[in-house]
Structure 1
Amino acid sequence: MNTVEGKKQEKRRALLDAAYELFLERGTSKTSVEDITSRAKVGKGTFYLYFADKGAVTQALLARVSYQLLDDAVTACERASAPMDFPDKMIFVIDHIIEALRNDTLMLRFLERSFVWPGLDKIEASGEAEPLMRKLLHAIMSSPEMAGLTEREVYQRITALGSMCMSVCYSSILEGKPDHIDAMKPVLYNIIRKALQ
């Protein structure tokens, strides 16, 4: 990467880091573009070179946080010593994400119910994906439980399951509704098993 490109990436990263810190401290709605640029120590014009508006920064951060959670969970699953079938792997990954969010409720508040399956929409749109999603797609498509499904059908299932899990995680951990997360996990994982049959 040349120096100019490296500096561009540094500025973009500084803006994202500043926005994330501020969103966690104050909330998204109480953070302005000026707050972000001030924290990142860049001019307001620099912000608009990288992002159309605060919503674009929010979407970039949702994707970044979701990617990191998913990557950590997949890595932990790969390192697990016990052999697992596909539904067990899915539940392991989801449980890992839920526990990470239980331990970081500020992150959970930021994500709300908006976990982003990073790059999954790009698989659908262009047939391409970045490495983590290629690896996940391969594991999913090669599982016996997904045999006969198209990539679109797999995308729909994963998106639906992910949305359901985030909604349950958010309401159970932060609001205790409809019950505590420990009481909801068996219900959630039973639904996931049935969806993957």
Structure 2
Amino acid sequence: MSKIDNNKEQKRNSLLDSAFTLFLDNGFNKTSISDIVEKAGVAKGTFYLYFKDKYDIRNQLISHKANQVFQAACNELLKHKELKDFEEQVLFIIDNILDQFAQNHHLVMLLSKHLSWGFFTDFLAVAPSDDRPSIYAIYQTMLDHASHTYRTPDVMMYMIIELVSGTSYNTILYKQPLSLEQIKKPLYEVIKGIFVQFRE
């Protein structure tokens, strides 16, 4: 990456980080573009080089943070060569993401309500950089090497993602109806059941 490209990436990331903090502290509706650029220390015109409006930066922020979380989980998976089965790999990634959420409640607040199949295919289908594949591409590769074939695998993953995102919010933030550690075993059993139901 050239020095100019690196500078652009730093400015964009600074705007994203500032928006993340302000959205959490003040709420999305009470945060203005002026607030974001002031916190980022850039001119207002710089904002429009990267984002159309406040809704665009929110969507790109969610994508940015979700990519970080999924990429971190996938990087951890690479360290576990013994996990060759698709279903074991998916459960490992889910477990890692839930643990990341447990360590950063701000991520739960930002992401858990937005993680959906549409988001997964639309936003996470874009590679975060030239040298890293998209999350959706990683998922497709894992699926291609699965020991089972699945009927409508997109519907299967839609159900799993909706289940995990809905479960994570209350269990992590409010320990309702159980704590995260208590909910993991029944959650993973349900996910295993979904896999079985979709096997051909």
Q: Residue 84 of structure 1: CA displacement?
A: 4.9
Shift of 1:188: 1.2
Tell me the distance in 2 between the aligned counterparts of 1:43 and 1:17. 16
1:131 to 124, 130, 133: 133
How much has 1:190 moved relative to structure 2? Answer: 1.1
CA separation of 1:34/1:119 partners in 2, compared to 1, >3 Å: closer, same or farther? same
Amino acid at match of 2:122: D
Q: Distance in 2 between matches of 1:93 and 1:41?
A: 36
What are the equivalent positions in structure 2 for 1:32-47 lying under 5 Å apart?
A: 32-47=32-47
Instruction: Report the Cα distance in structure 1 between the residues aligned to 2:111 and 2:28, rounded to whole angstroms.
Output: 11
Aligned length: 190
Deviation at residue 148 of structure 1 after TM alignment: 5.4
Q: Which aligned pairs between 1:29-178 and structure 2 lie closer than 5 A?
A: 29-80=29-80, 82-115=82-115, 120-121=121-122, 131-133=133-135, 134-145=137-148, 147=149, 149=151, 153-178=152-177
1:146-179 CA distance string (max 9 Å, x none): x254xxx333322331122011000111122232
State the alpha-carbon separation in 1 of the partners of residues 146 and 160 from structure 2.
17
Task: Give the 3-state SS of the residue equivalent to 1:196 in structure 2.
Answer: helix
The answer to whether the 8 Å contact 1:62/1:116 transfers is: no
Asked whether the equivalents of residues 102 and 172 of structure 2 are also in contact (C-alpha less than 8 Å), the reply is yes
1:5 CA drift (Å): 4.3
Amino acid at match of 2:147: P
Q: What fraction of aligned residue pairs are identical, expressed as a percent?
A: 26
In 1, distance between residues paired with 2:146 and 2:60? 31
Higher alpha-carbon deviation: 40-49 or 58-67: 40-49
Contact 1:27/1:110, CA 8 A, preserved across alignment: no
Deviation of 1:16 (Å): 1.1
Residues 1:77 and 1:111: Cα distance change in structure 2 (over 3 Å): same
| Ranges in structure 1 where 5+ consecutive residues have no aligned partner | none
Output the amino acid matched with 1:182: E
Look up the equivalent residue of 2:143 and give its one-letter code.
I
TM-score by length of 1: 0.82
- What is the rounded CA distance, in whole Å, between the counterparts of 2:124 and 2:15 in structure 1? 27
Instruction: Give SS of 1:144's match.
Output: coil
Match for residue 191 of structure 1? 190
Shift of the alpha carbon at 1:3? 5.4
CA contact (8 A) 1:15 1:36 kept: yes
For structure 2, list consecutive stretches of 5 or more residues without a partner in the other structure: none
- Alpha carbons 2:124, 2:134 under 8 Å: kept: no
Change (3 A) 1:173 1:122: closer
Distance in 1, Cα, partners of 2:116 & 2:12: 20
